[in-house]
């Protein structure tokens, strides 16, 4: 039978034509290690030894938990930049790359702040928030010396945990491949983040279950299953560990702009072509507004992500549906196009309306959140039907995907027939719901039932005040 592994991810490998060699160890990078080699069982032990040797070598250079590591000595001002090992130089360069790509949401410059939080956890006393904020913003502007040692008095200490595991996975895989050149597939998993190469015997891809970040329990059913081939997957969230101070449970992930643990932040699972990219993106997506994080993933070739808000509402990137394991539910033949109008109201003190568009089952269960206009929770709550499904229990998630309000005009949305997790929905009856409210104006709500999987003529509804003409049509191309 299939066996689950990891806290967040599980490998489903059933019905293989040949038995692979599988190894499991504990205490590797402080967590569990699993490795599987397909197609070259006689040399499998060499691959395992090579991978573990590379992991140990890189840990001795990159760990911030070891006082004798190259990175710790650099942070302490005892090792100049020109004497840093190649791996440390490369990881720090990637840290700065992702800091720029994420506009500061991903940062390896927080070592001193993390140390303060660990001490606060030990002392059971919250640090002073304003001081942390000033320190965090000062660290963001400090130049990194190209030569010489760091000045400990400046407070700049690097902590590379947000990318190091992925980097080590990539290097461990490269070492294993050199040891078993005839292998057809290799998987290495460290603490739930994993890198895959080739394919397993008897299958065309690796099948990986993505667990629910709200209930990260090994034997719980996953929220999705993806197919991977020579790719990596990483997950990041706030529920597995953190700081406990008094009765407060605080995330271990800090806001780089504030130096303070994030609250109501999302969790993320990322697929990428290499583990270092997947690791960095998964960390960044837990800090960035959901909309911005999804846009970043869509810009990176080969990347896909599922972001789940603190209240459990999922948001899939553009390439996530293509990564899903086909065959659970067939995709509908026709996608749905929705034309909606924001009417021009000739009134004094006109304000552009807040608006939400979403899909439900006939029985009222939410299916897909398509569009939200309005970036202030005070006024989003004036959309009571949408707020009940999405915003009330998840204001941070709502604001994370909301866009600025729009001027009067005609606009078009598309629904690909998938739910919020990216799963294709079966043919059947659904309801398109549109709700709008305007400051100093009125409120309007439209429900338009429609079939999916059996395209018919366009359906129309004419709004009266805050919503104009609404048309639902099917795109057969």
Residue 207 lies in a domain: yes
What is the reported pLDDT for 9?
A: 42
Q: What is the CA radius of gyration of the chain?
A: 25
Asked whether 115 and 123 are in contact (CB, 8 A), the reply is no
Sign of CA dihedral 169, 170, 171, 175: positive
C-alpha to C-alpha distance for 288 and 295, rounded to whole angstroms: 11
pTM here? 0.80
Domain count, the chain: 2
Q: Are residues 315 and 191 part of one domain?
A: yes
Q: Report DSSP letters for 216-255, one per residue.
A: --TTSPPSEEEEESS-EEEEE-SSS-EEEETTEEEESPEE
Quote the CA–CA distance of 51 and 72 in Å, as a whole number.
23
Over the chain (477 residues), what is each successive 10-residue block's mean pLDDT? 37 49 90 91 92 97 95 95 96 97 96 94 93 94 90 92 97 97 95 93 89 59 84 85 84 92 89 98 94 95 93 89 71 73 85 92 91 75 83 65 83 89 90 92 94 85 94 83
Q: Tell me which of 259, 292, 322 is where a domain ends.
A: 322
Task: Judge contact between 72 and 64, C-beta under 8 A.
Answer: yes
Identify whether residues 60 and 150 lie together within a single domain.
Answer: yes
User: What's the confidence (pLDDT) of residue 220?
Assistant: 52
pLDDT at 223: 76
- Print the domain residue range for 374: 335-475
Residue 397 confidence (pLDDT): 63
Shared-domain flag, residues 390 and 289: no
Residue 252 belongs to domain with CATH number: 3.10.520.10
| DSSP 8-class letter at 81 | G
Residue 128 near residue 159 (C-beta atoms within 8 A)? no
What is the DSSP code string of 138-191?
HHHHPPPPSSS---GGGT-----HHHHHHHHHHHHHHHHHHH-TT-SEEEEEET
Burial class (CB in 10 A: 0-12, 13-18, 19+), 26: exposed
340 in the same domain as 251: no
Among all chains, which residue has been given the structure tokens 């299939």? 2
Question: Are residues 245 and 384 located together in one domain of the fold?
Answer: no
What was the pLDDT predicted at 407? Answer: 86
Q: Is residue 327 domain-resident?
A: no
Q: 401 and 468: one domain? A: yes
Residue 329 lies in a domain: no
162 — phi, psi (to 5°)?
A: -75, -5
CATH number assigned to the domain comprising residue 348: 2.60.40
Q: Are 256 and 301 in contact (CB under 8 A)?
A: no
Residue 407 lies in a domain: yes
What is the CA angle 38-280-155, rounded to 5?
135
The answer to whether residue 328 is domain-embedded is no
Kindly state whether residues 93 and 182 are assigned to the same domain: yes
């Amino acid at each position: 039978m299939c066996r689950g592994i990891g806290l967040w991810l599980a490998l489903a490998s059933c019905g293989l034509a040949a038995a692979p060699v599988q190894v499991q160890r504990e205490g590797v990078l402080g967590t569990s290690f699993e490795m599987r080699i397909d197609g070259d069982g006689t040399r499998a032990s060499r691959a395992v030894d090579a991978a573990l040797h590379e992991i140990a070598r890189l840990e001795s250079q990159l760990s911030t938990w070891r006082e004798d590591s190259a990175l710790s000595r650099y942070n302490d001002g005892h090792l100049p930049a020109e004497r840093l090992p190649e791996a440390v130089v490369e990881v720090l360069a990637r840290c700065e790359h992702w800091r720029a790509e994420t506009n500061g949401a991903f940062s390896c410059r927080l070592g001193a702040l993390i140390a303060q939080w660990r001490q606060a956890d030990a002392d059971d006393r919250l640090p002073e928030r304003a001081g942390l904020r000033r320190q965090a913003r000062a660290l963001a502007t400090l130049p990194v010396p190209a030569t010489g040692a760091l000045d400990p008095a400046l407070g700049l200490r690097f902590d590379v945990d947000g990318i190091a595991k992925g980097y080590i996975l990539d290097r461990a895989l490269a070492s294993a491949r050199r040891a078993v050149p005839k292998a057809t597939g290799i998987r290495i998993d460290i603490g739930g983040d994993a890198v895959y190469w080739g394919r397993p015997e008897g299958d065309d891809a690796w099948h990986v279950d993505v667990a629910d970040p709200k209930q990260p329990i090994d034997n719980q059913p996953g929220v999705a299953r993806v197919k991977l081939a020579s790719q990596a997957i990483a997950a990041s969230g706030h529920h597995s560990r953190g700081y406990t101070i008094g009765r407060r449970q605080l995330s271990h992930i800090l806001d780089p702009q504030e130096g303070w643990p994030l609250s109501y932040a999302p969790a993320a699972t990322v697929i990428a072509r290499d583990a270092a990219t997947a690791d960095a993106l998964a960390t960044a997506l837990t800090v960035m507004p959901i909309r911005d994080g999804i846009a970043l993933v869509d810009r990176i070739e080969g990347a896909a992500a599922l972001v789940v808000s603190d209240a459990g509402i999922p948001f899939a990137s553009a390439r996530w549906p293509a990564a899903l394991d086909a065959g659970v539910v067939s995709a509908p033949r026709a996608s749905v196009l929705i034309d909606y109008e924001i009417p021009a109201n000739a009134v004094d003190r006109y304000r552009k309306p807040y608006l939400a568009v979403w899909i439900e089952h006939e029985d009222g269960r939410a299916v897909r959140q398509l569009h939200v206009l309005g970036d202030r929770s005070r006024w989003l709550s004036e959309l009571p039907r949408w707020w009940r499904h999405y915003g009330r229990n998840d204001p941070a998630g709502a604001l994370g995907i909301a866009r600025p309000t729009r001027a009067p005009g005609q606009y078009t949305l598309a629904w690909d027939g998938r739910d919020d997790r990216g799963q294709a929905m079966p043919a059947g009856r659904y309801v398109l719901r549109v709700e709008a409210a305007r400051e100093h104006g009125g409120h309007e709500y439209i429900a338009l039932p429609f079939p999916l999987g059996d395209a018919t003529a366009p359906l129309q509804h004419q709004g009266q005040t805050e919503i104009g003409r609404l048309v639902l049509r099917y795109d057969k191309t």
